[in-house]
Amino acid sequence: MCIRDSFKKFYELWAINLILKDQGTFLAYSHITRDHIKLYKQRVAELCSDLRNEVVTVMDMIAPPDDIIGSPFAASDGDIYNKFLQNVWNSPKCFGRPEWWRELKGCLLYTSPSPRDS
């Protein structure tokens, strides 16, 4: 399959996704029917099946920067481990207590009676 065919399929997938996202409006104004929605969903499955082997090739061809992709696992330099740790360390409030800590604080400080107390 040539790259033009791949892009056409990605475009079709994007267009169908837009329709399915707003299917309520399209149905309300009779632009599509429930049968159309079933056909669109079947087509999405077909397109995903066709494109699953081409995603990496297309992404490599477009070559967006790693931070645009947003995944440490897509690091072009292959340094997955350090990129992942960097994302963790840079996450806000990563090493602090969670917001719900106060709610559980009382439960966590409860001590059960020891066997000697009975």
Q: In the prediction, which pLDDT does 77 show?
A: 74
- pLDDT of 63-104, one tens digit each? 766 666 666 666 667 777 887 888 788 888 778 877 777 776
Contact 71, 78 (CB under 8 A): no
Q: In the prediction, which pLDDT does 61 show?
A: 74
Straight-line distance from the first to the last Cα atom of the chain, in angstroms, rounded to the nearest whole number: 76
Q: In terms of DSSP H, where are the helices of 52-100?
A: 55-62, 66-69, 80-89
Supply 3's token pair: 């790259």
Q: Which pTM value belongs to this model?
A: 0.54
Mean pLDDT over each residue of the chain, to the nearest integer: 81
- Residue with more model confidence, 9 or 76: 9
Question: What's the Cα-to-Cα distance from 35 to each of 1, 31, 45, 88, rounded to whole Å?
Answer: 30, 12, 16, 45
Q: In the prediction, which pLDDT does 60 show?
A: 73
Contact 59, 7 (CB under 8 A): no
